[in-house]
Amino acid sequence: MKVGYLHIGVPQSHESGVRRYGRFLAAEAHGRPELTVIEVEVTLTENLKHNHKLLANAAQQLSDADIIHIQYNNRTWGHRWSQVVNLWNFIRHCSRPLTVTLHDVFVDYALAAKLICLYRRPKVSQVDTEIASNLNYSSPETLSFRSVIRQGRKHLPETLAFLLLFSRVKLMFVCTEQEAQRLDNLIYDSKLKIVPHFVENRAIQITPAEARKALGLESCKTVAVQGFIYSRKGHRLLIEALPQLPEDVQVIFAGGPSPNSEKLVEELITHAEAQGLGHRLRVTGYLSEADLERYLIATDLAICPFATTSASGSLATWISIARPILASNLPQVEEYNRLEPGAIKTFEPYTSEALAQAIKHCLSSCQEGEAPAVARLRQKLSISVIFDKHLKCYEDALNGSASVPMQMQSMSQ
């Protein structure tokens, strides 16, 4: 089988997680002797005509593949309406069967179509309630026609891009059951496949003690949030919990701001300093792979205090290092704990008091080595295991069996 991978993105200082996701899949595919792999790189510009040429050429280079796998979120293919144009220009020149992994499937993803479905039907589901909460309504029943129109206009480019993908691709992958539920009115079961986010392989060459010494963290307990800093990720909640934690607890934000979140980082630092706790907060900014691994291995407790999430690349990163993990009690975290019971500790309600109490409890029992349950979860989500699931889906799509309606699979299947 010949498998094609398109690695696409807009210019930015550091490669996006979405682009890296496809690159990891392609690297694993290269290790399979039964596969021939075609990879094409495209960096988009602000010139749509130039992008058209780039994308038409990419489609031509991928035309020898039996099946093509692309990645999508609402930034990878361009901003707002440009993403629709760029997607269309690639898809209309593409002659081979397409599959796509949908990333960052939050409640407002394809929200225009979802809100219309919600407004038309009386049944209230868990995801409908999530939408109402996201829009600051007390209940789904209070959604008005005006709100449907307003939100529909706001998210129309993403909705059209999504519907374009849905109409033209063979398979659509998501990484969690919660994401699939968010799309339950928009995708037929026969096209939607749940394949968990993989955990990359790491060969750590440094001990926790060596990492702490290199980073100047020998005399403290470290709790860390890894990855881009943005509002939904819960950094603010951890700052609010900091005064309630013991003096020897150091908070690490191992990453820098996501695009347009620079002001948030300044606010977080200012908040900590206003409480006289600026010395207990370290914001690293972007980290090289080597520096990232030092912070990962030096961390006593990984914190994932997400307000909402889709499929978390940072959570997968913590699993790769098998550190003890504390996360907010979200459906996606529950999915991991069904796969390996007790792997990820959770806290609720979503308050700074509950988070601080949970951190103190977890730190009291943290061990120097790997957390055994997290290590077992890592094995179940290894890149080789997850790629096997993708490969089976590729084969089914080419053999025609993917067209048979199926129930959405759980992570454990």
Classify each residue of 171-202 as buried b or exposed e, where b means 16 or more C-beta atoms within 10 Å of its C-beta. bbbbbbbbbbbbbebbbeeebbbbbbbbbbee
Tokens of 83: 């993403």
* Residue 190 DSSP SS3: coil
Question: How would CATH label the architecture of 208-380?
Answer: 3-Layer(aba) Sandwich (3.40)
pLDDT by position in tens, the chain (length 413): 999 999 999 887 677 888 999 999 999 999 999 999 999 999 999 999 999 999 999 999 999 999 999 999 888 999 889 999 999 999 999 999 999 999 887 555 545 455 545 544 444 444 445 544 554 444 444 455 566 566 666 678 887 888 888 888 999 999 988 888 877 766 656 788 999 999 999 988 889 999 999 999 998 999 999 988 988 899 999 999 999 999 999 999 999 888 778 899 999 999 999 999 999 999 999 899 899 999 999 999 999 999 877 657 889 999 999 999 999 999 889 999 999 999 999 999 999 999 999 999 999 988 888 899 999 999 999 999 999 999 999 999 998 754 443 333 444 44
The model carries a pTM of 0.82
Q: Which residues partner with 221 through β-bridges?
A: 249
Which segments of the chain belong to CATH 3.40.50.2000? 2-108+155-198+383-403, 208-380
Q: Peptide bond before 11: cis, by omega within 30 degrees of 0? A: no
Three-state secondary structure call for residue 67: strand
Alpha carbon 90 to its chain's center:
24
Class of domain 2-108+155-198+383-403 (CATH, top level): alpha beta
| Residue 31: per-residue pLDDT | 95
202-261 residue pLDDT tens = 988 889 999 999 999 998 999 999 988 988 899 999 999 999 999 999 999 999 888 778
